[in-house]
Amino acid sequence: MIQGAPFRVGLVQMVSTPSVPENISSAAKLVAEAAGLGAKLVVLPEYFCILGMRDTDKVAAREENGAGPIQDFLAEAAKRHGVWLVGGSVPLACPDPGKVRNSCLVYDAEGRRVARYDKIHLFGLELGAERFDEAKTIAPGDRPCAVESPFGRIALSVCYDVRFPELYRALAPMDIILVPSAFTATTGRAHWETLLRARAIENLAWVLAPAQGGTHANGRQTHGHSMVVDPWGKVVAERATGAGVVVADIDPAFQQKMRRGLPALTHRVL
């Protein structure tokens, strides 16, 4: 577990468009804002670089692993601002030409990529007029991922993954859980905060969940409510809707105190 002084995190909330250059420009300004507010760990939402008119738009915008304007932006922005920067999800090429990996990429303060997590659980929904089937355009990952950082052990996940607590149990113990997301307005209203707080409570971990939040060009409405949840399950920072930045101070000593007082992670038998 991390030892030391508190540090500041920044969550970027966006209302991404079908234009990759436009989204990169917006993300650049918001990352700069978060860094200017003192954040040392900055996290972008799922689909920060493209939320297209059609599901296949992200396939057309895919990049080869390690090369492309989206990945170049993340590396350069991390180095320019001296922050750890997490690209909530980037469409990376996979063996199936009709699909992509929905990949969460982590860059250190020198602009080096230090982790990649491919979203494992793919969203599917048939509820009234709403229909989603990510499996049509996304190839699932097959490996959980956590990264050691100056801020402690960070578990990576993306959006729909938050409904599967066994993913996080496979990585426990961790200090921070990342959940970059693009929750629908419907499922977000019903479940978003409850799921995030549950993951924080059961892992006694900080949860950082930057989100898409607004009405997109394709008519999709995303829930927003980017939030930071502490290890006791309290929401300590939140932004309801619209593009912007959420910052919060993380105190490692608070987490240590909670884990000493309620050592639930040491009581696991399965």
Active site residues: 46, 119, 159
207 to each of 11, 157, 162, 203, 250, how far by Cα in Å? 11, 11, 11, 10, 10
In contact, 18 and 50? CB cutoff 8 Å: yes
Q: Both tokens of residue 55?
A: 């599901």
Exposure letters 18-44 (e unless 16+ CB within 10 A, then b): bbbeebbebbeebbbbbbeeebbbbbb
Residues present in the chain in total: 270
- 78: phi then psi, degrees, rounded to nearest 5: -60, -45
Give the residue among 173, 223, 179 at the shortest CA–CA distance from 197.
Answer: 179
Cα 250 to Cα 254: distance, rounded to the nearest angstrom: 8
Q: Are 71 and 107 in contact (CB under 8 A)?
A: no
Spatial distance between the Cα atoms of 167 and 164, rounded to a whole number of angstroms: 6
- 227 and 13 in contact (C-beta within 8 Å)? no
Residue where the block lists tokens 């670089």:
49
Q: How far apart are CA 244 and CA 48, in angstroms?
A: 13
Which of the 8 DSSP states describes residue 228? E
Residues 6+ apart with CB under 8 A from 168: 155, 157, 174, 177, 199, 202, 203
